[in-house]
């Protein structure tokens, strides 16, 4: 009797756990199909990464149910986890691929780092707020990412020991671009910076460092606002 009771519990547990996992898997695939691919993201490495990373395991507990919704979510400390589409857009811009080394300034929830880690060889990520940095490190370790290197520090100085980087993603942008970051970007490398108040990323800034060491910035619009459509 006792054994059959345990067996019943065993099956029930796996039934619910597995169906829960199925639900997240289903939500994630739908997210990629409807929110990302449908909006024009075509880079295969990016799409594949977005399909793999378990976003629901990187958001705060109370946001798990919203993890695959088409919007940014609050993660505390006045910070947000970006809208999935924005993460995909930023990842696509740097043209991720094997052999690449990427620096991220502003680990936040760790989601962007995880997506990058699926598409490139090494991701170095820096967070200035200790509690956010530690929490993201713990979650990323649990998810088994061994190519993400985290550190709690001031992102102003970048990560000189591992420079130069093929790309830099500055998710915690400030009023200026720290000169050390420009220096730590490889010639021909790209730096991408989302610009907007929390919950509202409205445009991206792309800095391209040319082969001659010079640079050019470009304003990119993930959501294109076209005035005068009514006329």
Partner 1 sequence: MGSSFFIRLLFSIGLLSVSMIAYQLSLMQYLSIVQWYHFAYMVIAIALLGFGGAGTFLAVFRKTLIRKIETLLPLFMALSGIFMPLSIWMSGQPFASFDTYLLFVEQKEVWRLLLFELLFFVPFFFCALAIGMIFIKYTGRIGQLYFSNLAGSGLGGLVAIFLFWTASPGQIPFITGVLAILSSGFILPSKKRHWWIGATSLSVITMLFLVLHSPLRLEVSQYKSLSRTLDLPDTKIETSENSPYGWLQYVSSPVLRYAPGLSLSYTGDIPVTDAIFNNGEWAGAVLNSTEDSEILDHTTSALALEIFQPQNILVLNAGTGIRTQYYSRHGVSQIDNVEPHPLISDFSTETVRFGENVQLYQQDARSFLAESRQQYQLISLPDIGTFGGTAGLQAIQEEYLFTTDSFSMIFDRLEKDGMLILKVWMDYPYRNPLKITASFAETLDKKGINDPAEHLVAVRSWNTITYLLKKNPFSDSEIQAVRDFCDRLSFDPLILPGISSAERSKYNSLEDESLFRLTDQLLSGDRKSLYRTYDFNLRPATDDRPYFSQFLKWKNFSRLQELFGDQSASFFELGYLIVGVTFVQSFLLAIILIILPLFLLKRRMKNKSWTLLYFAGIGIGFMFVEIVLIQRFILFLGHPVYSVAAVISAMLLLSGLGSWLSSNLQMGLGGIQKILLIIVGILVLYTFGLPWVLERGMAQGFGVKVFLSLVFIGLPAFFMGMPFPLGLRYLSEKNEQEVPWAWGINGCFSVLSTSLATILAIEAGFSVLIFLGAVAYLITMSSCFIKRRV
Verify whether residue 4 is a known catalytic residue. no
Which one, 1 or 197, has the nearer CB to partner 1? 197
According to the binding rule CB under 8 A, does residue 186 interact with partner 1? Answer: no
Which one, 20 or 76, has the nearer CB to partner 1? 76
- Of the candidates 173, 132, 174, which has an alpha carbon nearest to the alpha carbon of residue 150? 132
Draw the binding track, 190-219, toward partner 1 (x: CB under 8 A; -: no contact). Answer: -----xxxxxx-xx-x-x-------xxxxx
According to the binding rule CB under 8 A, does residue 163 interact with partner 1? Answer: no
According to the binding rule CB under 8 A, does residue 30 interact with partner 1? Answer: no
Contact with partner 1 (CB under 8 A): which of 22, 25, 33, 130? 130
State in angstroms the smallest separation of the CB of 139 from partner 1. 19
CA 220/CA 128 separation, integer angstroms: 26
CA 9/CA 41 separation, integer angstroms: 43
According to the binding rule CB under 8 A, does residue 129 interact with partner 1? Answer: yes
State in angstroms the smallest separation of the CB of 39 from partner 1. 11
CA 56/CA 64 separation, integer angstroms: 5
CA 217/CA 220 separation, integer angstroms: 10
Which one, 24 or 215, has the nearer CB to partner 1? 215
Contact with partner 1 (CB under 8 A): which of 10, 179, 188, 210? 179
Stretch that binds partner 1, among 39-47, 94-102, 105-113, 174-182 (CB under 8 A): 174-182
Contact with partner 1 (CB under 8 A): which of 122, 147, 156, 163? 156
| Identified catalytic residue from 4, 19, 82, 131 | 82
- Of the candidates 197, 192, 183, which has an alpha carbon nearest to the alpha carbon of residue 218? 192
Contact with partner 1 (CB under 8 A): which of 16, 21, 174, 210? 174
Which one, 58 or 132, has the nearer CB to partner 1? 132
Q: Which residues of this chain interact with partner 1, rule CB under 8 A?
A: 70-74, 76-78, 83, 128-130, 154, 156, 173-179, 182-183, 195-200, 202-203, 205, 207, 215-221, 223-231
Active site residues: 82
């Amino acid at each position: 009797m006792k054994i059959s009771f345990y067996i019943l519990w065993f099956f029930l547990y796996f039934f619910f756990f597995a169906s829960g996992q199925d639900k997240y898997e289903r939500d994630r695939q739908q997210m990629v199909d409807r929110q990302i691919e449908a909006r024009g993201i075509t880079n295969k490495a990016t799409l594949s990464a977005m399909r793999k990373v378990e976003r629901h395991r990187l958001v705060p507990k109370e946001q798990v149910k919203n993890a695959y919704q088409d919007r940014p979510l609050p993660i505390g400390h006045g910070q947000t986890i970006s809208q999935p589409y924005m993460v995909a857009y930023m990842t696509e811009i740097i043209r991720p691929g094997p052999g690449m080394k990427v620096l991220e300034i502003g680990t936040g929830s760790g989601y962007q780092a995880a997506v990058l880690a699926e598409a490139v060889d090494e991701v170095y990520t820096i967070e200035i707020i200790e509690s956010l940095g530690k929490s993201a490190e713990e979650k990323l370790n649990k998810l088994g990412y061994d190519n993400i290197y985290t550190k709690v520090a001031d992102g102003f100085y970048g990560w000189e020991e591992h420079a130069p980087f093929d790309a830099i993603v500055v998710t915690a942008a400030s009023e200026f671009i720290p000169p050390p970051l420009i220096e730590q970007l490889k010639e021909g490398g790209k730096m991408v910076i989302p610009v907007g108040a929390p919950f509202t990323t409205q445009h991206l800034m792309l800095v391209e460092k040319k082969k001659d060491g010079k640079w050019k910035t470009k304003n990119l619009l993930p959501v294109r606002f076209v005035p005068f459509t009514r006329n």
